[in-house]
Structure 1
Amino acid sequence: MIEVLVVVGPGLVADAGLLEEIAAREFAAAGVSGTLVHARDASDVLSLLSSGEGADGCAVVLPGPSAEVRSLIGRDLGAVVWVDVERADGVTTGEGATHLHGRGIGGLGWGIRHAVHRVRHPSRRIAYGPLPEQWGELYLPDADQPSVVMLVHGGYWRSIWAADIMGPLCADLAGRGLAVWNLEYRRPDLHGWDATTADVAAGLAALATALPPRADGTSALDLTRVAVVGHSAGAQLALRAVADAVGSARAAVGEAGAVGEVGGVGGVRVAMAVSLAGVLDLVEGDRRWVGTGAVGAALGGRAPEGQVAPPYADASPLLRLPLRVRQLVVQGAADDLDLVDFSRRYARAAEQAGDEVTYLEMPGDHFDVINPATPIWQATARALVEGPASRG
């Protein structure tokens, strides 16, 4: 059985009993054994981490404010999940470690889930650029030349949310025979909108070189039927990346090129784009103040009145139609009503523009669409397997 060690650093401002409750709940839900220990100082943290090493062990550390303990985050101490309950930007971890932050005391739960996931579902972390947030995790199924699903996480374009939230989908899809590329990228709250869009585009193109070719020179992945899937704000980024890729390819071959022949870039051909509870109308999203002003904060300004210009014209999926690839728009009926409105209007507009669109609305909230146990995700996963993954 997996053993989880949770270490609480000195000086952390949190109710000890509540930390115990959160940890116990997560241990039980994950079916693991776990211990929560309060460390006295940095030496104690080091000693606890050393004693917790092992193939079936993992560690989660809430470092707290101590400078001595925080200095350990950058050291190579293995696959430790460091969790700051407050926002802590710009933290660099040691090799193999992860840093989660800004999710409040509930971040402990996210940290335990991520630590267990990493033990149960190993992946390859592959950089697509030189910066700390320019990487993806590749999950490989037991299959020859599998089709690929690229996942783009959401979080209203804010840096406190990261690729770990898509971990359960990675495991589910890999179990269905699909390779999964779970993308991390620079978020605009720290790096600006252009950096974010550039990273998602680069992450998609990086699939072409993610693995070395096979002995016969062919690709180890089937890059002719890639599905690009985004959740929430990640759906906007995913659909925008597909629109940009298709537009670039069409420009390269001319407007007479067949849609199926131009849906890719850099050797990667997109066969399907999927929105999971997506923010698909950025103009109305800003005007309605969704995510407490998340759209304007990400794009660097409010949506203009009258004629829509960049960056909104380039970024809003609704304004980039037709997409010219097959689309699946998934929406939980119990989600934010503005998101339900965006998804319904987007699907209708895409169909009117000539795109092949399936609209899937089922019971569920904003996070049910990324929960492998829910009916709405099960239906989504079947569509992914029967769509790009199908060789028929």
Structure 2
Amino acid sequence: MVVGPGLVADPALLGEAAEREFAALGVRGTIVHARDAAEVLSCTARAGDSGTAVVAVPGPTPQARELMGRAAGPVVWLDLARADDTEVGEGAAHLHGRGVEGLTWAIRHAVHRLSHPRRRVPYGDHRDQWADLYLPTLPADPPAAVSAGDSAGMAASAGAPVAVLVHGGNWRAVWAADLMDALALDLVGRGFAVWNLEYRRPDPHGWQAATDDVAAGLDALAGVDAPVDLDRVAVVGHSAGAQLALRAAADGARVSLAVSLAGILDLVEADRRWLGSGAVAAALGTRADAGSRLYGSASPLLRLPLKVRQLVVQGSGDELDLVDFGRRYARAAREAGDDVTYLEMSGDHFAVIDPRAPIWRTTALAITETLH
């Protein structure tokens, strides 16, 4: 990790946060407080060499920030403050607006990026319209088709089931697809192809952009040249991403299973209760009582029945409003005739996307049993 000159943050605190994450990930890390931009450049040049992950916190100086636009390999650049318009070089990533806590996410992302190969597939022209495709390791000698007439069926059966991941973050642009890195690695290790979807968030782009992008990102799977089985697709959303995932299922996306992880499934009550400091109204651009038509199309609870098999997962240690939403949604979905499994276990809002947590391991088994 390299810290640029002039960064406004306590150096000791940065070190404490970094060392905790190094230990949690089981990696050996070093921290360099660069004297100038030349030293920042020297450190970032090591990215990718012999499995070296680099997190760079450039700070405010123009010379250090200019380096962010260069092609320096798989560097994860971190701005503690929000920096929406920052462009980084090819192969690099940019996280921003999460404060000092963002350092934890940046280190995770840097390490996860080196843990399994992934292919970035754009589905639109905007820099946030892409998905990272992870493929499981396939057997060296897949079974041969019994006959020419069976070849199409064998090709389909040889493909891996797909998990489409839709991240949350209260529909705000400071949160991105890196939130789902750990789940992607866990699921690819279970034999899934993973499509970790990024999309334009509503705060800079408007509500319709996010809805359109999730639909377009799901549709783009059909054009991917990869051994995937499009008849076995689960769309898995976390928090605000669960709303987008279930909304896509309600709109007719071709999925076999829709999974809500700590989902915001009742947008009307979420707005009335001012969940996430008004995140719902900020995303949709209107309050629930003023925009009933928009909320009627967006809220999963108001779209029932979805007519898609669903798994609703909720940590009992999460916000009580989310527990309320999950329980009421599952009950209403069953009453509407949907096939719904409700899973509530110990865990907080992020345990449901933590591969080490029992609630995620139980969830992963349920997804696997459904699609395998």
Q: Normalising to structure 2: TM-score of the pair?
A: 0.93
Distance 1:312 1:52, change over 3 A: closer
Whether 2:3 is the aligned partner of 1:8: answer yes
For 2:82 and 2:46, the matched residues in 1 are separated by 29
Residues 46-96 of structure 1: per-residue CA shift (max 9 Å, x gap): 122225651311110001111111111111000000001111112111111
Match of 1:141 among 126, 129, 136: 136
How far 1:122 moved relative to its partner?
2.0
Q: What amino acid sits opposite 1:188 in the alignment? A: P
**Structure 2 counterparts to residues 266-277 of structure 1, below 5 A:** 269-277=254-262
Could you say which residue in structure 2 is the equivalent of 1:368?
Answer: 351
Residues 256-298 of structure 1: per-residue CA shift (max 9 Å, x gap): xxxxxxxx4xxxx311000000000000000000001000000
For 1:199 and 1:70, the matched residues in 2 are separated by 30
For 1:83 and 1:14, the matched residues in 2 are separated by 13
Could you say which residue in structure 2 is the equivalent of 1:129?
Answer: 124
8 Å Cα contact 2:46-2:54 kept in structure 1? no
**Structure 2 counterparts to residues 245-264 of structure 1, below 5 A:** 245=252, 264=253
Distance 1:68 1:330, change over 3 A: same
Unaligned runs of 5+ in 2: 139-157
Could you say which residue in structure 2 is the equivalent of 1:344?
Answer: 327
Match of 1:150 among 155, 164, 168: 164
Q: What amino acid sits opposite 1:35 in the alignment? A: T
Residues 171-230 of structure 1: per-residue CA shift (max 9 Å, x gap): 111111011100000000000001010000000001001225xxxxxxx21001110110
Between stretches 234-243 and 64-73, larger displacement belongs to 64-73
Residues 220-246 of structure 1: per-residue CA shift (max 9 Å, x gap): 21001110110000000000011112x
For 2:114 and 2:46, the matched residues in 1 are separated by 17
Could you say which residue in structure 2 is the equivalent of 1:24?
Answer: 19
Could you say which residue in structure 2 is the equivalent of 1:353?
Answer: 336
Matched residue count: 353
Match of 1:169 among 183, 193, 196: 183
For 2:130 and 2:47, the matched residues in 1 are separated by 28
**Structure 2 counterparts to residues 58-97 of structure 1, below 5 A:** 58-97=53-92
Could you say which residue in structure 1 is the equivalent of 2:274?
Answer: 289
Q: Normalising to structure 1: TM-score of the pair?
A: 0.88
Could you say which residue in structure 2 is the equivalent of 1:238?
Answer: 245
Whether 2:173 is the aligned partner of 1:159: answer yes
Could you say which residue in structure 2 is the equivalent of 1:210?
Answer: 224
Q: Secondary structure at the match of 1:93?
A: coil
Between stretches 333-342 and 18-27, larger displacement belongs to 18-27
Q: What amino acid sits opposite 2:238 in the alignment? A: H
Q: Secondary structure at the match of 1:33?
A: coil
How far 1:374 moved relative to its partner?
0.9
Match of 1:382 among 349, 357, 365: 365
For 2:294 and 2:64, the matched residues in 1 are separated by 42
Residues 274-323 of structure 1: per-residue CA shift (max 9 Å, x gap): 00000000000000000010000000011116xx6321010000000000
Unaligned runs of 5+ in 1: 1-5, 213-219, 246-263
For 1:101 and 1:54, the matched residues in 2 are separated by 25
Q: Secondary structure at the match of 2:12?
A: helix
8 Å Cα contact 2:167-2:240 kept in structure 1? yes
Distance 1:53 1:298, change over 3 A: closer
For 1:341 and 1:227, the matched residues in 2 are separated by 24
Percent identity reads 64
Residues 326-381 of structure 1: per-residue CA shift (max 9 Å, x gap): 00000001110110010101000000000000000111111111111111111100
Residues 91-139 of structure 1: per-residue CA shift (max 9 Å, x gap): 1111110000111111111111110111112211111111100001111
Q: Secondary structure at the match of 2:276?
A: coil
Could you say which residue in structure 1 is the equivalent of 2:315?
Answer: 332
For 1:128 and 1:58, the matched residues in 2 are separated by 27
